[in-house]
Amino acid sequence: MYPSRFRYEAPHSLDEAIGLLHDGGDYAKVLAGGQSLVPLMKLRFASPELVVDINNVPGLGYHRADPDGTLRIGALCRHADLEHSDLLPGTQPTMAAAAPLIADPIVRNRGTLVGSLCHADPQGDWASVVLSLGGSVVAQGPGGRRTIPVADFVLGPFENALHPDEIAVEAVIPAAKGVRAGGYLKLERRVGDFATVGVAVSIETAAPGGTVTRAGIALTGVGGATIAATEAAQALLGQPLSADSIGRAADLAAAAAQPRTDHRGSAEYKRHMVRTFVERILSRADHEAERAA
């Protein structure tokens, strides 16, 4: 299989890349890791006329924490960089849990977190993770930069909020006010498969085991788009974690899922797994907090 014909440019600066997109007409595509775009082009589900490869733009491969703890992930930071990162364990439990579960090790060498958010696949894991953390995407276009909360960035299946001449330059995870806990659990049929069910939970407490001051729960693969289980997250607020609050959040998350029966499992089974995963992540967080306290 091979893609249909396209013009290829590999600029060495962001400005040049944005200029190419601006002049490139209706059907220009940014190429980052290529682990979603190239397969789609080979299947001719995507046939862009212009491909702007950003892999030669220097300075986009970073992920780093600002002094205040805000985490920034550049457009060319690969899944593997996050999997092997020393920065995430401890401070970013949800991200650290998700990184090794994206695709397979070879795909992770190329694919990027920012590309995954742009791709907006309802079965993409990073969108749930970043949504649960209240993260955002920084877009740069001819008019400058703007920051888009990921809740407004992922518009629907395979649809994002970028203008055609904008590039997503980084994803931003806000600093935790206090201690961050949580995790990501994914049910997959085999390594490299997309999620049958994925659940991201991120909470913040003033101290380990203390009152929950912020909570985010997001679901992968159980609806037409990434689902923010807002009510479930709210059920955790204003109290320390307890069997009671965990159970309520798990029930509400299961209710927020919109799974469909398919070759990966029945709707009932998937809904049940959402409940189980929310409970498992939060119970584990609770135990770890007890041990830390």
Partner 1 sequence: MTMVYEDRGDDAAVEVPMRRIRFTINGEKKIAEVEPRLLLSHLIRRGVGLTGTHMGCDTTNCGACTVLVDGKAVKSCTMLAVQVDGRSVETVEGLATASELHPLQEGFKQEHGLQCGFCTPGMMMAAKALLDRNPDPTEEDVRWALSGNLCRCTGYQNIVKSVLWAAAKLRPGTADPDAAE
Ligand X SMILES: Cc1cc2nc3c(=O)[nH]c(=O)nc-3n(C[C@H](O)[C@H](O)[C@H](O)COP(=O)(O)OP(=O)(O)OC[C@H]3O[C@@H](n4cnc5c(N)ncnc54)[C@H](O)[C@@H]3O)c2cc1C
Q: Among 144, 165, 132, 130, which Cα is nearest to 23's?
A: 165
Report the alpha-carbon distance of residue 71 to residue 84 in Å, rounded.
16
Distance between CA atoms of 31 and 34, rounded to whole angstroms? Answer: 6
Stretch that binds ligand X, among 27-35, 143-151, 234-242, 265-273 (CB under 6 A): 27-35
Whose Cβ is closer to partner 1: residue 115's or residue 209's? 115
225 binding ligand X? (CB under 6 A): no
Counting contacts by CB under 6 A, is residue 50 touching ligand X? no
90-109 positions binding partner 1, by CB under 8 A: 103-107, 109
Choose among 179, 101, 168, 111: nearest CA to 135: 168
The number of beta carbons lying within 10 Å of the beta carbon of residue 155 is 12
CB 194 within 8 A of CB 104: no
Rule CB under 6 A: say whether 94 interacts with ligand X. no
Stretch that binds partner 1, among 38-46, 64-72, 195-203, 278-286 (CB under 8 A): 38-46
Q: Does 116 bind ligand X (CB under 6 A)?
A: yes
Q: Which of 17, 21, 46, 51 binds partner 1 (CB under 8 A)?
A: 51
Among 194, 202, 233, 278, binds ligand X (CB under 6 A): 194
Whether the CB-CB separation of 284 and 259 falls below 8 Å is answered with no
- 8 Å CB contact between 32 and 76: yes
Question: What is the 3 state secondary structure string of 96-131?
Answer: HHHHHHCCCHHHHCCCEHHHHHHHCCCCCHHHHHHH
Question: How many residues sit in the footprint of partner 1 (CB under 8 A)?
Answer: 30
Which listed option, partner 1, ligand X, none, makes contact with residue 42 (CB within 5 to 8 Å by class)? partner 1
Tell me the helices (H) and strands (E) count for the chain, helix number first. 11, 14
Q: Which residues pair with 217 in a beta bridge?
A: 201
Contact status: 260 vs partner 1 (CB under 8 A): no
Q: Which does 259 bind (CB under 5 to 8 A by kind): partner 1, ligand X, none?
A: none
Q: By CB under 6 A, tell whether 221 contacts ligand X.
A: no
- Give 43 or 155: the residue with its C-beta nearer to partner 1: 43
Among 41, 37, 46, residue whose Cα is nearest residue 1:
41
106 binds, among ligand X, partner 1, none (CB under 5 to 8 A by kind): partner 1
- Phi, psi (degrees; rounded to nearest 5) at 204: -130, 140
Could you say which of 133, 148, 162, 235 contacts ligand X (CB under 6 A)? 162
Binding site for ligand X (CB under 6 A): 29-37, 39, 75, 102-103, 107, 111-112, 114-116, 118-119, 121, 124-126, 162, 167-168, 192, 194
Binding site for partner 1 (CB under 8 A): 1-8, 10, 31, 34-35, 38-39, 41-42, 47, 49, 51, 53, 55, 103-107, 109-110, 191-192
